[in-house]
Amino acid sequence: MAIVLHAAGTADLGPFAPKATSTTEGQQEAALTVWKAPAGVEVEAGIWEATPGSFPARRDGYHEVVQILSGRVTVTPTGGEPVELGAGDTMVTPAGWTGVWDVHETVRKTYVLIYV
């Protein structure tokens, strides 16, 4: 059976909470896991949203594929050039990736995590 989430850009993600890794006071995030693979298969898909602010990110033990649904963010990989992303952009961060997210406008993304 297929799992369908209509209108991911406006779906209710549940309550917002402080972003634990944020370097910006007051930054909030919310997430909704849409699908998680059965035991033995390490894949997860969902929707995530964060308010403006900055935070460090690292992909320890998983690859991530994201599709930006709304908002605007600059992602700067450690030792690399900043990349601005907005609605319609797709990004892949491989396992081991590190960098900083600077959220300029509340950003919402779909994500797929592939654990290694």
CB 48 within 8 A of CB 108: yes
Q: Provide the pLDDT confidence category of residue 110 given band limits of 50, 70 and 90.
A: very high
**DSSP class of 39:** T
Paired residues of 98 in beta bridges? 58
- Residue boundaries of the structural domains of the chain: 31-115
CATH topology of domain 31-115: Jelly Rolls (2.60.120)
What is d(CA 73, CA 102) in angstroms, rounded to the nearest whole number? 6
Paired residues of 41 in beta bridges? none
Instruction: Read off the pLDDT of each residue in 50-75 and give the average, rounded to a whole number.
Output: 97
Residue 1 has pLDDT above 80, yes or no: no
- The amino acid present at 86, given as its one-letter code, is G
CB 73 within 8 A of CB 104: yes
Residue 44 has pLDDT above 90, yes or no: yes
Instruction: Read off the pLDDT of each residue in 92-103 and give the average, rounded to a whole number.
Output: 97
Residue 38 has, within 13 A of its CA and on its CB side, a CA count of 0
